[in-house]
């Protein structure tokens, strides 16, 4: 088992909640992160994760996980900016320009929002995996109402 995904914290308020509530929380955070594209809304969504991480006594683990995610998030940011820089049109005002290619601050903001959106979903999933063992997750999914389960 991967050590970073194991559940070892069963004494906190968040880990004593029903696993279905924790899955619902993760789903709600992910849906909000996907639906909202305003940088302020994404930032506020990220701020809602902080009290949950603190109440679950996971702050050091989340900080360690976040530190390890920086190169991947930077790569995701570059995947968003570089094509806009190469294939983007003329935009005024531009943040930087090189031989007729330019990137506007709006395009950089969009790339940051996309990267941060991915980060929010990863952190919420990380909190679930750190507070819930896999047996609880599978039993919580089995206990979902039939209309919420996929028909496969």
Mean pLDDT confidence for 96-115: 74
| 99 Rama sector, left if φ>0, alpha if ψ -120 to 50, beta otherwise | left
Q: Yes or no: say if 13 and 58 are a contact pair by the CB < 8 Å rule.
A: no
> pLDDT tens digits for 5-61?
555 556 777 778 888 888 888 889 999 999 988 889 888 988 888 888 888 888 888
Report pLDDT digits (tens) over 61-102. 888 988 999 999 999 988 887 776 666 655 555 555 555 566
**pLDDT higher for 129 or 107?**
129
- Give me the pLDDT at residue 120, please: 93
Of 151 and 26, the one with more pLDDT: 26
Question: If we measure between CA atoms, which residue out of 67, 139, 150, 80 comes closest to residue 115?
Answer: 80
Residue with tokens 């920086």: 70
What CA–CA distances, in Å, run from 141 to 10, 33, 133?
20, 22, 13
Which pLDDT does position 11 carry in this prediction? 73
**Residue 102: its H or E element:** strand 101-103
Measured CA distances, 62 to 42, 47, 49, 94, 144 (Å): 18, 13, 10, 36, 28
Per-residue model confidence (pLDDT) at position 1: 43
Which residues on adjacent β-strands are paired with residue 151? none
Q: Note the pLDDT of residue 80.
A: 82
């Amino acid at each position: 088992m991967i050590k970073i995904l194991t559940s070892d914290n069963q004494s906190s308020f968040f880990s004593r909640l029903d696993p279905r509530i924790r899955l619902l929380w993760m789903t709600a955070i992910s849906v909000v992160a996907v639906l909202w594209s305003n940088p302020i809304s994404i930032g506020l969504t990220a701020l809602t994760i902080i009290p949950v991480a603190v109440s679950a006594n996971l702050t050091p683990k989340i900080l360690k996980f976040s530190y390890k995610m920086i190169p991947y998030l930077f790569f995701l940011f570059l995947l968003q900016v570089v094509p806009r820089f190469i294939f983007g049109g003329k935009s005024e005002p531009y943040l930087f320009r090189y031989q007729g290619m330019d990137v506007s601050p709006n395009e950089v903001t969009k790339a940051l929002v996309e990267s941060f959106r991915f980060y929010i979903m990863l952190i919420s999933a990380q909190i679930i995996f750190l507070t819930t063992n896999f047996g609880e997750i599978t039993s919580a999914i089995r206990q979902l109402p039939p209309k919420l389960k996929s028909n496969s």
